[in-house]
Chains A and B, each alone.
Chain A
Amino acid sequence: MKKVLSVILSLMMLTMLFVGCGKKAEETADTGAATDTGAKTEEAAATEAPAKEELAPVTLKWYLHGSNVTDDSEVLAKANEYLKEKINVTLEPIWGTWGDFDSNAVLAINGGDDVDIYFTCSWSADEYNAFARKGAWVRLDNPDNNLIEQYAPDLWKTLPTVLTQGATINGSDGYGVYAVPGYKDIATQNCWDINVPLLEKYGYTVDDIKNADYYSFGEILKKVKDGEGADFYPLLVEGNVLERMVTNSIIVTGDAGTNNLLSYYINPTDTAAEGPYGNKLLSKFETPEYKKFVEKTREYFLAGYIDPAMGNASQANDTRTAKQLTGEYLIGTQSYALGYEVQASKERGFEVAMVPCTPPYVDTTSSQGAMMAISTASKNPERAMMFLNLLNTDPYLMTLLDYGVEGVHYNMVNGEAEFTPKRDDYMPWTNGMGNVTLLPPQKGQGADFWDGFKAYYGSAGEIPVLGFAFDGSAVETEMGALANVAAEYALALNTGTVDPAEKLPEYIQKLKDNGIDKVVAEANTQVDAFIAAKSK
């Protein structure tokens, strides 16, 4: 058997050599091309504003997210005609859908595929901060070759400062910007989602909810539960969202996926001010706030206010969506986007009210909701930057790529875009492309929609640690183990399906056994460094 093994090993060596040689040849070719473009850049920079004819034709591959596109021929014909004239670019979009993105885009990035621009954000597998550290994205404000200054100064001025700040992070090339943030719903605001007709049926008004808080919902919940029967569960909650709403903690970007381990507590009335614990990160589950929250939640669960299905990670969301649509709830949890109550009322067929728990605020996660990064594998980062600049400042191009061709995919009626059935063949993720305020409002939003939008999101204050993302690479072993511990306990505790008197101490002990203290210490070192760098 030894012989066989050695033969296999030597075969592997051979194949490696083979790959190596193949790659070497390519490599030299690549460097050749790179110097070529490098020379061109210098040339272009030297002449300041390059005339269009001087730009060599370039094809840009653009990887998008959340698309539902089956026929892009008409849009691309128009867009490429336009782009050819403007910056001599031919666009080749890759219409990534929601589901295949996790593995496909990550594979493409890790494997150095020849894609120029990637969608990235704080919440999907091709995470902005992590891949910036790994070296996947070109630093756009690199002092040696500042692409933003050279090719996109207008764009940078039009973006709200919270966005540019949120995009400025620690990456492979130092503290800087690694992607162009999209201007969409950039604020976080958690709300109680109220079934108004049902609330009024029992003699309460929305004001009664506004004046109460989670800990004093008991009376209202009891009355409705008694009136509606045993099969009715008045509290319709996403456990992890509920926990954040009640304790005023936020998602720490870079934390262990959906079950956060770390907490940053904000000041619920003035989100720009320091929170009750200052600029410190805490182990989420060891605080008195958390203990109080889970005890109350357990009480509500035992009283039959919370559906047991909510503690069941894979089932919770389906159940929640179904009950929202049938109106089988009284108070729900919802992360808000402007105009959502109108949309929800229409979808569900009854009046829905949103009662905010805090003013809208911008944190790292929400400011990095949709971004476009230039890949380090791109042969033409300059041209990619020009394209992103044009996309985010030119309403014609943005509308064409996002909505489709006017008269084919949509028609303009009274200043609103009304989609045609053809739009079903061309549906990119509207908010996943760039500056949405360049688009005409959609039917039903009202012609002055963007004024309200800019006012609402413009008012959103930044929290003190905006831009901070936790880098777990020094504690990956612990993060891997802790993510599993959290998956075992967090949701069950947050929905009251298990008894906190028994499970909370067990949970905390297990977190300690798996190194939560080390993670918190590491996180706080990073926060301190971040605050210091930011205030400089």
Chain B
Amino acid sequence: MAAPLGCGYGDLVLASSRAVDDEEEEEEASQKPSPSAVLRWSTQAKQEISESPNDCIECSALIVAIGPVATGFIHTYLLHQETEILGMIGSGLSEDTCNTFEQTSPADATCFLHRLKSAPSVIVCQCNVDIPPEMMFSWTQQLFSCINIHNTYVGILASAPVSEFRSSVSLSDVTVPFLRGLKTNQFHGKPVCPYLEQPNTAKGLPASVLTHCQVYRVPAVLYMCYSDSIYVEIPAIKAFLPVLKGTPFRDIVQENPHADITLRKLVELRALQNNLYT
């Protein structure tokens, strides 16, 4: 009796069929409900929202820091003042997702909304989470959902590798790290650094927040720090220093006499995570 085909002759390998269109996988994916980000307010913030006439938190300046370099900068130069945690934006239930208000280390993968006690209308969002692309829109919607953005200035800080930066000058001749800016039409000032030249673009979460501000006519400015290191380093964090002289930071920042010590501790904390086994 002949052995069945494939039995004892190794595995049957089916050739990919041209009848199966890649679009069919796309259509299957579209049947699944898309995940959304969720904003959780603290008990105090919930009470404040329920008591406000328009169910919103008043905000004159919203600072959004995205990624370890930008959040390190805000942690050192803005959040050394006394703050309270207003809420957090959750974007998933993977193993390393933080969903409590207790994990407040600057190196934790968290996304908290802070408020300065010295300036209660200033809200700072520190995003240390990698938000998946399909959640960026809902994350942005959640961020602006209960904040009264009329008369609000938005400042966004983010970083990117210099390898993504296109320049007619060879990158070996450019001093790294450097800062580039983009602003919405409603922002009437100029960024404190050169504009991001064509054909460069910003993408991901910083782009999602700036797009929202452009579409809904909110004055906003985005500062991108381009650095050549994959690790968090002090020169990259300090590259953001000029933004402290611009809107909306200059009216709310207070000098931190221990900035250098804070920076060193932050970089050491991050360095512990930057090894072969993490």
The answer to whether A binds B is no
B residues in contact (CB < 8 Å) with A: none
A residues in contact (CB < 8 Å) with B: none
